[in-house]
Amino acid sequence: MAGRAKAADGQVIQYTTLKVRLYPTQDQAELFEKTFGCCRYIWNQMLSDQRRFYAETGAHFIPTPAKYKNSAPFLKEVDNQALIQEQNKLSQAFRLFFKDPENFRHPKFKRKKDDRDSFTACNHVFESGPTIYTTRDGIRMTKAGVVKAKFPRRAQAWWKLKRITVSKTRTGKYYCSILYECPVRRPEPVAPNAETTIGLKYSMGHFYVADNGEMADPPRWLRRSREKLVRIQQKLSRMEPGSKNYEEAVQKYRLLHEHIANQRRDFLHKESSRIANDWNAVCMRDDALAEMSKGPSRKDAASSGYRMFREMLRYKLERQSKPLIILDRYAPTARTCSACGLAQDSVDYKVKTWTCPKCGITHNREANAAKNIKAQGLVQFGKSA
């Protein structure tokens, strides 16, 4: 995406995030825990004072973190940048709420059991050097020093480190998301046509079906892990909450869910990258997965990650100046014949194939819908161009 930073002629600024696993020492882990708590404390204090100030004066005002350091000396023990970023996040939350209150809710107080533990710190470059930088086997942070890390890949030499976000999962693992600013050559806009465009239809059984008949069968991580989850849940129901065995079983349960999420994310990234690199345009329908998930036989729709897959496709295509064309969710793609255009009154979604009463062609229901999504998407793009 384009940023505010200046780029040379023929270049644009893009932002890339690298997520690395952290292995902090005991002292560094304690500092991270203090920072998580201080960020949550400063957020709640600023939000409380904002509400009180608004109730008394009718004006919007958010105090700075420096106001609270005298009454709460423990705030001085953590990185000041993490506290400043909490104020920026709260200000951004209010800006979004005031701009579009129907889609963005009013900021609420944070609770330790509900919110993810994380903090963000920006990198500042002084004459003595940057405040945050990477080493051969770690990341140097303010107050924490060099934290050991495992890098899946390295940043290019010309990338500029902007900020980091340290987070902790429910399984007790620490991660750091490093945001880089990287200038790249401005890609030429790509005009889609029928030969270089693909239409994708969400499928309950195959994740998606393409207009050319291609199907994506993800690893059935949820189905294979279901029996393990059931056994763990049965053990938990027979254990005494708070006991050592109970806590060990809860940890196994969380680790299994984390493993499933990682498998799903890995599949989505690989599949979206392949499609974005092979095709000049992608047509999809804005399916309501929440509605499709209703019913005992449709429980895989919500956990499939199809919406995440669509967002991955969006930014990966955008970086190559390729369009992602989204049709309305009520577009009659499944009950329309892709050969003659006859639209039926209804369609039986349990039937995999159907024959058009007008032209007599037998269609695979999902592949036919993907063809219609592609055709209608090209028409929609032509009207908007």
Cβ contacts of 170 within 8 Å, gap of 6 or more: 254, 258
Q: Which residue would you say has higher pLDDT here, 144 or 220? A: 144
Residue type, 183: P
CA distance 278 to 289: 26
Looking from the CA of 336 toward its CB, the CA atoms found within 13 Å total 14
The phi and psi torsions of 356 (rounded to 5 degrees) equal -70, 125
Confidence of residue 3 (pLDDT cuts 50, 70, 90): very low
User: Beta partners for 23?
Assistant: 148
Q: Region 270-279: what's the mean pLDDT?
A: 94
Confidence of residue 334 (pLDDT cuts 50, 70, 90): confident
In the predicted structure, residue 170 carries a pLDDT above the cut 80: yes
In the predicted structure, residue 182 carries a pLDDT above the cut 80: yes
Cβ contacts of 276 within 8 Å, gap of 6 or more: 282, 313, 316, 317, 320, 322
Identify the residue whose tokens are 């973190």: 65
CA distance 9 to 64: 39
Segments of the chain assigned E as strands: 11-23, 117-122, 125-126, 129-130, 133-134, 138-141, 145-150, 160-168, 174-185, 197-203, 207-210, 215-216, 281-285, 324-327, 353-355, 362-364
**Tokens at residue 232, please?**
């763990």
pLDDT of residue 5: 59
Q: Region 148-166: what's the mean pLDDT?
A: 94
What pTM was computed for the model? 0.84
β-strand pairing of 117-122 with 160-168? antiparallel
In the predicted structure, residue 213 carries a pLDDT above the cut 80: yes
Q: Which residue would you say has higher pLDDT here, 133 or 204? A: 133
In the predicted structure, residue 109 carries a pLDDT above the cut 80: yes
Confidence of residue 2 (pLDDT cuts 50, 70, 90): very low
In the predicted structure, residue 300 carries a pLDDT above the cut 70: no
Q: Which residue would you say has higher pLDDT here, 20 or 240? A: 20
The phi and psi torsions of 343 (rounded to 5 degrees) equal -105, 120
CA distance 335 to 365: 8
Domain residue ranges in the chain: 11-185, 197-384
CA distance 190 to 193: 10
Write out pLDDT tens, residues 26-55. 999 999 999 999 999 999 999 999 999 999
Looking at the chain, the whole-number percentage of residues with pLDDT higher than 70 is 92
**Tokens at residue 26, please?**
């005991």
**Residue by residue, what is the 3-state secondary structure of 113-141?**
CCCCEEEEEECCEECCEECCEECCCEEEE
CA distance 46 to 87: 8
CA distance 128 to 115: 36
In the predicted structure, residue 344 carries a pLDDT above the cut 50: yes
In the predicted structure, residue 276 carries a pLDDT above the cut 60: yes
The mean predicted confidence, pLDDT, of the chain is 88
Q: Region 91-114: what's the mean pLDDT?
A: 91
In the predicted structure, residue 301 carries a pLDDT above the cut 70: no
In the predicted structure, residue 189 carries a pLDDT above the cut 80: yes
Least confident residue range of 254-263, 276-285, 348-357: 348-357
